[in-house]
């Protein structure tokens, strides 16, 4: 049977944001593909260089709506380290609470989207209903459901009063019960097992080779989490466990995220019950001394890094953002090779991609085709990104 070229994107019903896959298929099997990014370049990094530290935090929250607190926190803690500020413990606990509520928000949203991709819309409705309880809590604490704007250089903007703490604690038991149902469902529900198990499989060696991060890597047995391995905020003081799996497929990535939901509930409860007294911020100088830092953070999708360079003024000279979606694209392209065409939406969705926070650059290969990554089938049936004369992402 001759090979057929199937374009998917940049606008397609299976894609939530613009990205272009040029699929080369032999029958129903994907032989190789080309991936084109950077349809939503917004110039946020350049805009950040033109704003002072107070005005740049709300801008960086707009890099990604679901990970808004992640981007603001990783930037703030980088600037605080350059300034050698000691953030009060209460502020660190509040940042941790918001961070884990955001992780729950993200994972519940993802589980609903993944269920929708396989036509399991009942699960989609359930998870998005439970997500409302998380967003109600975030709104009560910060005043906003998506862009929380909790961070300031030196601490947080809003304190938590006893009523807010009690309201958040009262919602956790019902969320725990719902998460238990999802654990049982992912183990027993035939629809999930048929569509997720064995799909988009990636070994631990391949995850390390292609630089996968977050739940995508941990589902392949990579025991790595920035919260534990390079502790920040209050994570060194809170009892919790890194969730890993050995399945290495979409099923494993689902199990990891549901496991992280349970851990996030425990982290939030511990922080709410043990939040220390004291101030929520320290006074920060207007200008940052000259310096540079690589600030790291475990966002819901994986390791997020901000490279920050300061020059003695109240603005950054350079901020360079490496998002987890960008780190995971190569592994996704690898997982798609030798899979069925019908599995493209769920394999792509399994990394929880965010194109808006990824598209800040263009990669040009020798044929001057912007943002192209070619993935071909290897002799052993797996895939090799790039080939001679082609550029990798």
What is residue 132's three-state secondary structure?
helix
**Total-model pTM:** 0.89
- Specify the pLDDT at position 371: 42
pLDDT (tens digit per residue) in 66-85: 889 999 999 999 999 999 99
- Specify the pLDDT at position 268: 97
Beta-sheet strand order (sheet of 291-299)? 291-299, 302-310, 316-322
DSSP H or E segment with residue 5: strand 4-8
Q: Which of 119, 33, 34, 35 lies closest to 339, judged by CA? A: 33
- Specify the pLDDT at position 360: 58
Q: How far is residue 141's CA from residue 56's CA, in Å, rounded to a whole number?
A: 22
- Specify the pLDDT at position 387: 37
DSSP H or E segment with residue 160: none
- Specify the pLDDT at position 379: 35
DSSP H or E segment with residue 317: strand 316-322
Cβ atoms 320, 45 nearer than 8 A: yes
pLDDT (tens digit per residue) in 328-340: 988 888 888 888 8
| pLDDT < 70: residue spans in the chain | 1, 13-15, 359-393
CATH class of 44-322: mainly alpha
């Amino acid at each position: 049977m001759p090979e057929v070229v199937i374009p998917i994107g940049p606008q397609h019903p299976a894609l939530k944001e613009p990205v272009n896959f040029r699929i080369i298929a032999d029958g129903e099997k994907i032989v190789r593909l080309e991936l084109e990014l950077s349809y939503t370049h917004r110039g946020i990094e350049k805009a950040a260089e033109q704003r002072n530290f107070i005005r740049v935090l709300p801008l960086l929250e707009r890099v990604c709506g679901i990970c808004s607190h992640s981007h603001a926190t990783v930037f703030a803690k980088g600037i605080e380290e350059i300034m050698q500020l000691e953030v009060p413990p209460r502020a660190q606990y509040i940042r941790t609470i918001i961070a884990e509520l955001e992780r729950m928000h993200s994972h519940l949203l993802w589980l609903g989207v993944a269920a929708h991709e396989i036509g399991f819309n009942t699960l989609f409705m359930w998870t998005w209903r439970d997500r409302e309880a998380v967003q109600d809590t975030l709104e009560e604490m910060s005043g906003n459901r998506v862009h929380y704007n909790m961070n300031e250089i030196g601490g947080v903007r809003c304190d938590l009063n006893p009523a807010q703490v009690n309201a958040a604690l009262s919602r956790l038991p019902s969320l725990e019960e719902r998460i238990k149902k999802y654990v049982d469902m992912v183990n027993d529900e035939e629809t999930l097992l048929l569509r997720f198990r064995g799909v988009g499989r990636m070994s631990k060696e391949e995850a390390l080779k292609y630089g996968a991060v977050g739940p995508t890597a941990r589902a392949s047995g990579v025991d790595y989490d920035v919260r534990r391995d390079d502790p920040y905020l209050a994570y060194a003081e809170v009892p919790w466990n890194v969730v890993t799996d050995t399945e290495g497929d979409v099923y494993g990535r689902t199990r990891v995220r549901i496991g992280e939901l349970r851990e996030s509930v425990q982290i939030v409860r511990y922080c709410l019950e043990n939040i220390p007294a004291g101030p929520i911020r320290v006074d920060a100088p207007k200008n940052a001394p000259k310096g540079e830092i690589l600030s790291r953070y475990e966002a819901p999708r994986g390791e997020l890094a901000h490279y920050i360079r300061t020059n003695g003024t109240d603005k950054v000279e350079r901020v360079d953002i490496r998002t987890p979606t960008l780190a995971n694209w190569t592994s996704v392209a690898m997982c798609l090779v030798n899979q069925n065409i019908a599995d493209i939406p769920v394999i792509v969705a399994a990394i929880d991609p965010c194109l808006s926070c990824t598209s800040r650059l263009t990669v040009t290969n020798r044929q001057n085709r912007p943002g192209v990554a070619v993935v071909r089938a290897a002799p052993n049936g797996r895939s090799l990104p790039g080939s001679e004369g082609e550029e990798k992402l």
